[in-house]
Structure 1
Amino acid sequence: MIIGNAARAWAPLAAAFLLAGCAADAAPAGSGQVPPALAGTWSASSAKVDTVGVAAYLPDDPALLGLRLHVAGDSLAMDGHTCKSPAVATETLTLRTLIEETYETSPDAMGVASADVPQPTHFITCGSGDIGPSYDRGSWIAQLSPDLIAMSWFDGVLLILKR
Structure 2
Amino acid sequence: MQSPSFEVSIGKNANGMHLIAIPFEIAKPFVEKKHKRVRVVACFEDKSIEIYAALLKRKGAYLIMFGKKNQKALGLFLNDYFQLQLFEDTSKYGVAVPEEFDAVMLSDYDAYTIFESLTDGKKRGIIYMITRYKNSQTKIDKTLLLCENLKRGIRDNRELLKEF
Please indicate the TM-score interval, normalised by the length of the shorter structure.
Answer: under 0.3
Give me the TM-score of the superposition, normalised by structure 1: 0.24
Larger radius of gyration: 1
Which structure: greater helix fraction?
Answer: 2
Which structure: greater strand fraction?
Answer: 1
